[in-house]
Amino acid sequence: MSDDASILVDTAPVETGGTRVTITLNRPDVINSLDEAMVAALHDALDGCATARVVVIRGTGKGFSAGRDLSQATPLEEDARAILADLFNPLVAKIRALPMPTIAAVHGPALGVGFGIAMACDIVLAAERSRLGSPFANIGCVLDSGGHAALVQRVGPHRALELIYTSRLLDGAAAAAMGLVNEVVADDALDARIEELAGQIAAGPTAAFAASKRIVQRIADQQFGFADVLTAEADAQGELAGRPDYVEGISAFMDKRRPQFRGE
């Protein structure tokens, strides 16, 4: 994992095996805006998550991430397509492709690529004073980092275009009410709620969760019709049958006890 100062990685052992990894964006002086070095460090951190039962992504200071670090931008000269295609898009895609459950803990601004990183996670919890949305109209740019897909899938085309056209940013309550995030949490309770949720998921049958994640993403990407979903579910169940968590889950139910899943 990366030990770069712009990324903090906390790896905690999980009682039933594996680890729980928290990746913290750590450039608080620029609201965790991402430059090339920070992107590289984040890639390293993600590459080190192979044994994680759950991954949490969060930010230090006043916000989750204000997006791309524009301090060195050269709008008259830079290759905007390459900046996305070569720098930010692979990062967002890598987060979405992680096989284990992922949680974004959002407070303050989550904008631009910061918004994309949060939306690439499976679950998003937002503090009340979060600021999420697409301010790109204010700088003459197009929403990027997967933001269009996130908005359309989570709030629908009509609300997606409204947010894009108006640059309206949503606080945690509005984002939760619209369905953009899973849950709004009081600012001073976000850490505790993330700890609770991450612990619950890490203790679950994460191999089964990985199968469900693959199926859900293929539905979202319109790669599956209903018949395909039925087949994929049957295939996944067949692959899990006889494995330790499958046996443990059913045995615990029959024994009327709490299962101890190992993610296998």
pLDDT digits (tens, 9 = 90+) for 198-226: 999 999 999 999 999 999 999 998 887 88
User: Quick check: 242 pLDDT over 90?
Assistant: no
pLDDT top residue among 104 and 141: 104
Average pLDDT over residues 110-127: 97
Find the helix or strand (DSSP H, E) in which 80 lies: helix 80-82
Tally of CB atoms within 10 A around 79: 10
Cα-based torsion angle of the residue sequence 164, 167, 172, 173 in order, rounded to the nearest 10 degrees? -80
pLDDT score for 1: 56
What tens digit of pLDDT does each residue of 3-19 get? 678 999 999 988 777 89
More confident residue, 2 or 101: 101
CA–CA separation, 44 and 251 (whole Å): 39
Give 86 or 2, the one with higher predicted confidence: 86
Residue 132's nearest CA partner among 77, 65, 191 is 65
- pLDDT at position 36: 93
pLDDT at 31 over 90: yes
Q: What is the pLDDT of residue 222?
A: 85
Q: Which CATH number fits domain 7-202: 3.40.50.700, 2.60.120.340, 3.40.50.720, 3.90.226.10?
A: 3.90.226.10
Please indicate, yes or no, whether the overall pTM of this predicted structure exceeds 0.85.
Answer: yes
Q: What's residue 169's pLDDT?
A: 96
Q: Averaging pLDDT over each range in 2-11, 174-183, 227-236, 240-249, which range is the top one? A: 174-183
| Domain ranges, ordered by start, for the chain | 7-202, 206-255
77 pLDDT more than 80: no
Q: What are phi and psi of 133, to 5 degrees?
A: 150, -160
Output the average pLDDT for the chain: 91
- The whole-angstrom separation of Cα 125 and Cα 130 is 10
Q: How many whole angstroms separate alpha carbon 163 and alpha carbon 135?
A: 8
